[in-house]
Amino acid sequence: MPQTLHLQRVLRAPPAKVYKAFVTPKAMEKFLPPYGFTAEVHELDARVGGRHRASFTNFGTGSSHSFGGEYLEVNPGQRLRYTDRFDDPNLPGDMLVTLDFFEVVCGTELCISQTGIPDVIPLAFCRLGWQETLDQLARLVEPEIPDGA
């Protein structure tokens, strides 16, 4: 039976900046992969009906896995909903990811829901991967670096 994961994180950056990270390929390559992995975004068309495709490569072993899907809802600075499917037939089924961006007094509260996680993926590994992703996201979006620096 597919699994569901819910996470929340408050980031010291405005919703528009946090949202931008999720629709910018070079940004995603920097923050999305868990520790020990690199990422390549092969396709990203962040509009309803648009597609996304990426792969993660284990830096130590060189093995990789790819995944992709379709954008179902795109509301800049507020919400992204998209499907995800692994190319590996041993990880079947579509996952649904919902990212909600809420403005709060200190920045953005990001709420993540991921449903349909294949049973063969331990939920603790999935949670750990998202926690690492969110740590890297914070390092990307929280600094305020002036132009020309």
Residues of the chain with pLDDT under 70: 149
pLDDT tens profile 45-58: 999 999 999 999 99
Residue 92 confidence (pLDDT)? 80
Domain that holds residue 109: 3-35+75-141
What is the C-alpha to C-alpha distance for residues 22 and 44, in angstroms, rounded to an integer? 10
Residue closest to 101 by CA, chosen among 84, 83, 132, 80 = 80
pLDDT of residue 101: 98
Residues counted in the chain: 149
Residue 137 lies in a domain: yes
Give me the pLDDT at residue 93, please.
Answer: 84
Residue 82's pLDDT is 98
Q: What CATH number did the domain enclosing 92 receive?
A: 3.30.530.20
Residue 24: inside a domain: yes
Domain count, the chain: 1
Residue 69 lies in a domain: no
pTM recorded for the entire structure? 0.94
